Chain A
Amino acid sequence: QKEVEQDPGPLSVPEGAIVSLNCTYSNSAFQYFMWYRQYSRKGPELLMYTYSSGNKEDGRFTAQVDKSSKYISLFIRDSQPSDSATYLCALHRTGGFKTIFGAGTRLFVKA
C-alpha cells in the first residue's frame, strides 16, 4: 500500500468553478501537510501547508486536514485558467527527513 494516494486526474473544470483536490494517507505519524503546484516543465512550488488538523485559508485557496480520516483536501474557489497545473500533496513526519509526495492531480481550468 502506498503511503499517500492521490487521483492523477486529469480534472477539467470551467472557469469560476470550485475545485476540490484530495489525498488519503495511511500513516498517522504525519504531522505536516503541504500542497505544491507544478506548472508544465517547471519544478513544484509550495502553495500551502498546515500542521495537524484543521483548515487554513489563503486567498482563493483553502487547505483542510482531517487526521481522524487520514484525508487532506485543497479547495480552489473561483478557479482561473492560470490555476491549470499539477497539484501535489506532500506529507512530513515530525523529526523525519523525508517528505512523501502524492502522484499529483492534473487540473485544467477552461476559459
Chain B
Amino acid sequence: GAGVSQSPSNKVTEKGKDVELRCDPISGHTALYWYRQSLGQGLEFLIYFQGNSAPDKSGLPSDRFSAERTGGSVSTLTIQRTQQEDSAVYLCASSSSGTPPETQYFGPGTRLLVL
C-alpha cells in the first residue's frame, strides 16, 4: 500500500517568508510525528499527534513553528517568518497507534532552504 508522502519534496524560500509543509500519513495510522534533520544533528523531535490532538508539542523550536492535523489524517507544519537556521530536512512519520515498540514509517522528507 501507499507509504507516508510529503510535499513539496524541495522548497526554497526567502528569509522572512512563511512556508507550509504537508504530510499524508499511512491510512488508518492514528499517530503522526514531525522531525527536523540538520546536517550532523540527527533527528530532532518537533511534535506528536494522536488523532487530531497534539499531546506533546515540546519540540517546537519557537512560536514561529506550528502544526495542525485535520480529520485524523493530513498534517501541515507551518513556519512563519522563516530564518536561515530553519534550513533542514523536515521528516514526517506515522505509526498505527503510537504505543511502542511500534514502527514509525517515515516519508521522504521536505528539504527546506531559506536564503
Q: Which residues from chain A sit less than 8 Å from chain B, CB to CB?
A: 6, 8, 32, 34, 41-46, 49, 51, 88, 90, 92, 94, 97-104
Q: Does B45 lie within 8 Å of A45, measured CB to CB?
A: no
Report whether B108 and A42 are in contact in the complex, using a CB–CB cutoff of 8 Å. Answer: yes
Please provide the chain B residues from 48 to 62 with a CB less than 8 Å away from any CB of chain A in the complex.
48, 50, 55-56, 58-59
Contacts A41-B108, A92-B100, A92-B101; is A99 near B45 (CB within 8 Å)?
Answer: yes
Q: Number of residues in B with C-beta < 8 Å to the partner? A: 27
Known contacts A8-B40, A103-B42: A97-B48 contact under CB 8 Å: yes
A-B residue pairs in contact (CB < 8 Å), sample of 14: A8-B40, A42-B108, A43-B106, A46-B103, A49-B101, A90-B43, A92-B100, A92-B101, A99-B33, A99-B45, A99-B104, A100-B45, A102-B42, A103-B41
What is the number of contacts between chain A and chain B, taking CB atoms within 8 Å?
55
Question: B44: shortest Cβ distance to chain A, in Å?
Answer: 8
Q: Which residues of B contact A (CB under 8 A)?
A: 4, 33, 35, 40-45, 48, 50, 55-56, 58-59, 91, 93, 98, 100-101, 103-109
The chain A residue sitting closest to B38, CB to CB, is A103
Q: How far is the CA of A49 from the CA of B101 in the complex (A)?
A: 8
Contact A44 B106 (CB under 8 A): yes
Q: Which of B33, B42, B104 contacts A6 (CB 8 A)?
A: B42
Q: A97-B55, A97-B98, A98-B48 are in contact. Are A44 and B103 (CB under 8 A)?
A: no
Q: Report A58 CB to chain B, min CB distance, Å.
A: 14
Contacts of B93 in A (CB 8 A): 43
The 7 closest A-B pairs by CB, nearest first: A43-B106, A103-B42, A101-B43, A97-B56, A97-B48, A46-B103, A101-B42
